[in-house]
Amino acid sequence: METTVIIYSAVAAIFFIMIAKYDIHMFQLSSYRYSRYFRWLVPGNMISGKRFYALLMLVPAFFPNAVGLGFATSMALWAWIDALREKFKTPLVYTMRVKRLFATNIILFAVIAALAILFAGKWAITIIGAELVLSNLIMLLANLVNTPIEKAINRHYYNDAKHIIESHRGLIIIGVTGSFGKTSTKNYLASVLAEKYNVLVTPGNFNTLLGVIRTIREQLRPYHQVFIVEMGAKQKNDIKEICDLVHPTIGIVTAVGEMHLETFKCVENIQDTKFELINSLPANGLGVINNDSEYIKDYKGITSRCKLLKYAVDNDGDYKATDVVYGTNGVSFTLGDNQQYSSRLLGIGNLLNILASIAVADHLEVPVNKQKNAIARLQPVEHRLSMKVANGITVLDDAYNSNPQGAKMGLEVLKNFAVGEGNKRIVITPGFVEMGARQTEANKELGRTIAQSCDYAIIVNAVNREAIKGGIEEGGLPAEKYFLADSLNHAHQQLAKILRAGDVVLYENDLPDNFK
């Protein structure tokens, strides 16, 4: 019996390493938030996939012999082979936090297994097998154990970043936030200001407090003159925390929309949170806000005495684009005293982001001719209404973290995109998530807009399927003009059947690996 338990423990340990990696990956994709992780876990992922293999690993508890061990070993090997074949769109990032979590996870498993071997007798295999079935709970326990360590490490990093910022005198710090458009605005602004200044921007999606701290510690150098900080938020005070660290003197609010309502609960909380940036600015600072955004235009909670500039396309503003013309080469528009600008970017959203960049560039005295040159060279941000043409097919990629307002802009571009006779405008989308009570109605409205904007629609995954389908049917798109796909791969199989040279395909919103 002892030999059987020891052999089983070795096999279980190999299996546990694989399933622990998977659990940590899903926890990372859930932003290390318990509520999000449990929404992914329950109910389907409790018994499917790797968890099913874990249940089968309990067989030796009932058959503690060579047959049972052989079965468990084959299950462990098959699970590993299955895991090696699995391809994730967003792979696990082995940060130091993940490495520490992995180590603590394995230590907890080993300690429980050792105690079971020493003291549990005939129940040892059952206890070790239960560890595999409940591996997600062990992972969460490991995270709880590590929490004091992570807090201490984060405090050290915060104080180090604060010291670096305080010692960098003369640095112009610009905050950029918004429910959407902040990453594009950050990148466009960096390109324009680079005509005069040495600019550092927070890379990728480093828009949390820890992401900003990491950027400061690893990338900020004495020769940088401007630091553009993208500021994301999932709950109130997230942006204030970043502002308390970097103390921006210029702030841009690109939009306020119904994003992350599950954590914010209401739009008013989103408004207050985004305007934490403007309200952190000093009296001699500059706030730049999008006057076309309904929840910005009507906001009454500004307490800062800083100068405010408004930009717009449809409404009034200090920076208002007129004579807007879209074409195959992008967009051209007029600003102020007949200044002509042109850009390769598509959509009103991108145009608004350009206007915000121009407002800040004027404030920082970047010459207008240099601004125009930089704007003409701007390239679309990947997955944010970027355009690619291959084999006669035009792909509009708006697949990053979409929202009702952004999707409306993307569908407007699709609707107005010139196609040849007999060619189709096609949209592929999973709809919107994390919208709380508004999710069903927002996806139904998306379906109505889709029906008016394209010739064929592919709805991916089951979460929002019925809501989008209902909106499509209300909008009058016939049943043969839309398809309900179970996965992105399934959607691509259907797309291959209908796609022809000259068609235009819009990918609207992302499909993360933990979105079922």
What pLDDT digit, counting tens, does each position of 55-96 carry? 788 888 888 888 888 888 888 887 787 777 777 777 888 989
Per-chain mean pLDDT for the chain: 89
List the single range of 249-253, 352-356, 411-415 with lowest mean pLDDT.
411-415
Give the whole-angstrom CA distance, residue 288 versus residue 355.
10
- What's residue 279's pLDDT? 97
- What's residue 497's pLDDT? 95
User: How much of the chain exceeds pLDDT 90, in percent?
Assistant: 59
Mean pLDDT of 493-498: 95
- What's residue 44's pLDDT? 55
More confident residue, 382 or 320: 320
User: How much of the chain exceeds pLDDT 70, in percent?
Assistant: 95
Question: What is the 8-class DSSP label of residue 235?
Answer: S
Confidence of residue 381 (pLDDT cuts 50, 70, 90): low
Give the whole-angstrom CA distance, residue 250 versus residue 265.
28
Domains present along the chain, CATH in parentheses: 2-148 (no CATH), 169-377 (3.40.1190.10), 386-508 (3.90.190.20)
DSSP H stretches of helix in 122-255: 124-133, 135-167, 182-193, 209-219, 238-246
| Integer CA distances (angstroms), 99 to 19, 24, 135, 318, 354, in order | 15, 10, 17, 50, 40
Nearest alpha carbon to residue 442 among 456, 458, 429, 455: 429
Confidence of residue 47 (pLDDT cuts 50, 70, 90): low
- What's residue 297's pLDDT? 92
Mean pLDDT of 305-315: 95
- What's residue 265's pLDDT? 80
Q: Could you tell me if 179 and 274 are in contact, meaning their C-beta atoms sit under 8 angstroms apart?
A: yes
420-436: per-residue pLDDT in tens? 889 999 999 998 877 77
Confidence of residue 512 (pLDDT cuts 50, 70, 90): low
Give the whole-angstrom CA distance, residue 7 versus residue 137.
24
**Tokens, residue 126:** 């059952």
Q: Could you tell me if 167 and 217 are in contact, meaning their C-beta atoms sit under 8 angstroms apart?
A: no
Q: What are phi and psi of 223, to 5 degrees?
A: -80, -10
What does the chain come to in residues? Answer: 516
174-217: per-residue pLDDT in tens? 999 999 889 989 999 999 999 999 999 999 878 999 999 999 99
Cβ contacts of residue 150 below 8 Å, gap of 6+? 97, 100
Mean pLDDT of 456-483: 92
Residue 513, pLDDT above cutoff 60: no
437-464: per-residue pLDDT in tens? 788 999 999 999 999 999 999 999 788 8
Q: Could you tell me if 53 and 15 are in contact, meaning their C-beta atoms sit under 8 angstroms apart?
A: yes
- What's residue 193's pLDDT? 98
Cβ contacts of residue 115 below 8 Å, gap of 6+? none
Give the whole-angstrom CA distance, residue 443 versus residue 454.
16
CA-based Rg of the chain, rounded to a whole angstrom?
26
247-276: per-residue pLDDT in tens? 999 999 999 987 766 678 888 999 999 999
The rounded Cα 33 to chain-centroid distance in angstroms is 14
